[in-house]
Structure 1
Amino acid sequence: MLSILALTMRRELLLALRRPAEIVMPPLFFLLAAMLYPLAIGPDQELLRAIGPGVLWVSALLAALLGLQRLFAADFADGTLEQALLAPHPLLLTVWAKVGAHWLLAGLPLVAVAPLLAIQYDMAPQALGVLLASLLLGTPVLSLLGALGAALALNARGGSVLLALMLAPLYIPLLILGSSSVHAEAQGLGSSAHLLLLAGLLCGTAALAPWATVAALRVALE
């Protein structure tokens, strides 16, 4: 099973490398969206420190939405998903491979870019560490829930709009916990409770979302 998972993920990464624009788009959007706020607000350091965590988390959330509609669309169009459904290994492995590839291409680069943007918001080193920890815990949740939304909107008209409407309520608790953890650390209140809640949210989503995604894909393939 692990070898099949590794091969499927390798296939997803190789296919993504053939579309370099899709790889560059999430971190580039993250950079541009987060850099525009200081230019519009001005050099008020107190205000920038106050809004920085929220701006970075909202920008990361929007960047993770890019390309989600196409997560299963190509395989659905050429019949690869039907072959995966009929294959001897479970469809769950395909879902996990796509989620893992999406996080490596759209989630992990956001974590790598975040320290550069934190400097622009005059973020303290302790708060920056919490920001990175929250993004490491939160971006996999974005990919897991995004895969579920992409599966639900797979065969629907206006899929991108429907996907955004479905995922927005699911992303709100993650957004609140992620930004609040950085605020709490910056104010000296400690961020362990927020990070533990994020870890619990990640565990719960990892346990439930792939199975729900498989069920949604089966409905779309019927």
Structure 2
Amino acid sequence: MIRLLIRDLRLALRSGGGFGLGLAFFLIVVVLVPFGVGPETGRLQAIAPGVLWVAALLACLLSLDRIFALDFEDGSLDLLATAPMPMEAVVAVKALAHWLTTGLPLTVAAPVLGVLLHLDAAATPWVLITLAIGTPALSVMGTFGAALTVGLKRGGLLLSLLVLPLYIPTLIFGAEVVRRGAQGLEVATPLLMLGAVSAGAIALVPFASAAAIRIALK
């Protein structure tokens, strides 16, 4: 499993679809928002939590189609399907690799880029906490869409349409935690719901993704 993780990390960095692309998209969205809504500090502070979460969500979408596509094209996915390692474990490792190259950099960069949106100081730690909890769910759910479209040509748009509805609960609870934290309100309920969504996705989605891959390889 460790060798597979290292291999996927190297492929993600070499192909250019992970670390750099996600961060560049994240930066572009955060920079463009003040031009679209105006430079007023109060307005930017009000929308900053939602903007950061939406930008992180869309940045995660950019590299989802690469999770299984490269292995499918060179035949590695067939070998992984017949390897002693369960396909569910393969999916989990690939989701972890995607999070390390996409979700983790976005989590670290979000508080820094929040300065461009005049993010309230009280909300900054909550942005870091919610993204750390929620982005693993984005990567794991993304494997399901990637598995469903692994054999399709130009399946990127279909992948986005399949995955975006699954992302909505994570987006709602994550942005709500940051909003409440900025206002000094109670955050336990949405934070627990966000953690429950991530835990449920990590526990259940790899089985669905593995089943979809097996069907695609038949």
- TM-score above 0.5: yes
1:138 equivalent in structure 2: 134
The equivalent position to 1:153 in structure 2, one of 145, 149, 165, is 149
Which residue of structure 1 lines up, in the alignment, with residue 75 of structure 2? 79
1:1-222 → structure 2 map (5 Å cutoff): 5-20=1-16, 22-222=18-218
The more displaced of 100-109 and 71-80 is 71-80
Using structure 2 for the length normalisation, give the TM-score. 0.95
Q: Which amino acid aligns with 2:104?
A: L
Cα distance, 1:84 vs structure 2: 0.9
User: Match of 1:175, as an amino acid?
Assistant: L
Distance 1:144 1:22 in 2: 15
Deviations 1:98-156 (A, max 9, x none): 11110000100101111122112222222111111110011101100001100011123
Over residues 170-196 of structure 1, what are the superposed CA-to-partner deviations in whole Å (9 max), with x where a residue is unaligned? Answer: 111111111111111122212221111
RMSD: 1.3
Greater shift after overlay, 46-55 or 20-29? 20-29
Q: Number of residue pairs matched?
A: 218
Question: Shift of residue 21 of structure 1?
Answer: 5.6
- Structure 2 CA distance for aligned equivalents of residues 20 and 162 of structure 1: 22
Q: CA deviation at 1:36?
A: 0.6
Asked if 1 retains the 8 angstrom alpha-carbon contact of 2:30 and 2:117, the reply is: no
Amino acid at match of 2:20: V
Which TM-score applies when normalising by structure 1?
0.94
Gaps of 5+ in 1: none
CA distance in 1, matches of 2:154, 2:17: 22
> CA 1:15 to 1:157, structure 2 compared with 1: closer, same or farther past 3 Å?
closer
Q: What is the identity, as a one-letter code, of the residue corresponding to 2:145?
A: G
Distance of 1:90 and 1:20 partners within structure 2: 28
Output the amino acid matched with 1:31.
L
What SS does the aligned partner of 2:122 have?
helix
Q: Which runs of 5+ in 2 are unaligned?
A: none
